[in-house]
Amino acid sequence: MSTTDPHKELDADAKRLAEMGYSQDLNRNWSSFSNFAISFSIISILAGCFTNFGAGWNNGGPVSISWSWPIISAFILLIGFTMSELVSAYPTSGGIYWWAAKLGGPRAGFYTGWLNLIGLVAVTAGVAYGCATFIDLTLSMWSESYADGYSLTRVFVIFVAVLAIASVLNIFSGHLMAVMNNVSVWWHVAGAAIIVAILLIVPDTHQSFSYVFTERINNSGYSDGSTSSFVFFFAVIPFGFLLTQYTITGYDACAHLSEETKGASMGAAKGIWQSILYSAIGGYILLLAVVFAVPNLADGSPDNSLGAGGVAPIFAAALGSNWAGTVLFISSAGQLFCAVSCMTSASRMTYAFSRDGAVPGSKHWSMLSANRVPARAVMLVAVMAALVTLPALVEVNIGTPEAPIYSPIAFFAVTSIAVLGLYLSFAIPIWLRYRHGDNFEAGAWNNGSKYKWMNPLAVAEIIIVSLFLMMPTYKPGNPFDDSFEWKFVNYSPIVTLGALLAITIWWQASAKNWFKGPIRTIDPAEVP
């Protein structure tokens, strides 16, 4: 047990915050475990692993899940290590953009901040919509009459309700969020263990190791469905990287909540890489359990058509409606925890970026409520999340009229926007830290000389995966194909590149004249 005086830790945190130019306005009542818990909750293996399962299944199949997950996870852990070093040196809300501004100047901070904010709004939208989908699936599994009334409008209404619940809980109390995240960790651990046990015990049959690690599927429409072509291995399977890259994201929450964390220089740093590592291990076990549980057809061959519609058809066929409903309920509750945590992180970033005058109406969004939480920033995030998800009301069938396969193209696009915004915002300070070399003033937790190979490798992974996620993942979404239709379009590059163009125009026309980076609100001599 630590013998450190918590009051001295608080004083040290306030002093370090004052050195970076800010007074302790937010309540610093989060423990290191709570800081870890929010990132673990946002990563949420009960959310990303299930809601984006179809992205991996349709773009590679079992091999895309059994092989891509551990490989991409290792690279993401590397990215986490580079960010842990940065948050240890600069533990402040909105940390990602603060790091960039500190290391590369106002322009780097401006671009980083907006990319990070776009990513956080999109990940909040994606998680809330995924949660709404799973709530609807759970109720449909338990009630045939409810299932018969399915509509995209009904799912969207549930989505708005999830956003409202997440907003109300965030506005109520910052300390409540810390408690909820602590509970969320154990829900995810216990829930994932229960689901794995159900998938191992209940199904009558299980697939072989050979199936799980060698079976290939191509439902993208590219290469005429080939699973042995160059296109399959170097385009289709990389499209499936979205499953891993989206699931293991949002861990920058440890930085955004560092102003509310005691002993943040160590606690927030450990929170980042530990949340990635434990989620990668737990998520891999969970995904393998799902793939092993894929049932067979009457002729004894695996029913590969089930995974095209996500995990729900696999659960229903392998477990029956009652057990499937139970699994979906556990996942839905975990996703609700995740949505609440995403709202916390996004609102803190909005508050911090507004505090420095970068967001239109900054004075409004940087105001704190009587409970000392950025309530107005919470409401702004909720409204923007709802707007960016409106295309989810358009029905998209990637199959045929006789054998429809409904794909949530808009959901995959929103999750791609989240990955692109967040990871591109991570890449900027990671690269700038590399450029600073040994002149970088490291914090209590650092990578030593290993930054020399870790940081360039982390940036390279982000750029490569980002390029794949901006490509049309289905053939009819390719504007150069005869089957092109707008409803199939992966609109993530339109939003992301459009936002970058808007940011560039805004910077050149106006922002460079008034945005000077983080604004000091306290003199270092005013340390409490």
Interval 129-135 mean pLDDT: 94
Supply the pLDDT for residue 516: 85
Nearest-angstrom CA–CA distance, 138 and 459:
39
Nearest-angstrom CA–CA distance, 339 and 333:
10
Inter-residue contact 340 to 250 (CB < 8 Å)? no
Residue 249, token pair as written in the block: 């994201």
Torsion angle (degrees, nearest 10) of CA 458, 462, 463, 468: 140
Orientation angle between helical segments 375-388 and 106-142, nearest 10 degrees: 70
Nearest-angstrom CA–CA distance, 49 and 308:
14
- What are the backbone dihedrals phi and psi of residue 30, each rounded to the nearest 5 degrees, phi first? -95, 135
Residue 71 has pLDDT above 60, yes or no: yes
Supply the pLDDT for residue 174: 56
Nearest-angstrom CA–CA distance, 415 and 134:
16
Nearest-angstrom CA–CA distance, 70 and 63:
11
Interval 247-255 mean pLDDT: 86
Nearest-angstrom CA–CA distance, 14 and 262:
10
Residue 218 has pLDDT above 60, yes or no: yes
Helical (H) or strand (E) element with 407: none
Nearest Cα to Cα of residue 272 among 25, 516, 518, 37? 37
Amino acid type, 352: A
Nearest-angstrom CA–CA distance, 29 and 95:
18
DSSP secondary structure string for all residues of 495-515: HHHHHHHHHHHHIIIIIHHH-
CA atoms within 13 A on the CB side of 159: 25
Q: Which residues contact 224 (CB under 8 A, 6 or more apart)?
A: none
330-339 tens-digit pLDDT: 999 999 999 9
Length, in residues, of the chain: 528
Place of tokens 């107005």: 376
Name the pTM for this structure. 0.87
75-103 tens-digit pLDDT: 999 999 999 999 998 887 767 888 999 89
Q: Where residue 10 falls among pLDDT bands split at 50, 70, 90? A: very low
Amino acid type, 378: V
Helical (H) or strand (E) element with 217: strand 217-218
Supply the pLDDT for residue 5: 45
458-491 tens-digit pLDDT: 999 999 999 988 888 778 888 888 888 877 777 8
502-520 tens-digit pLDDT: 999 999 999 999 988 777 6
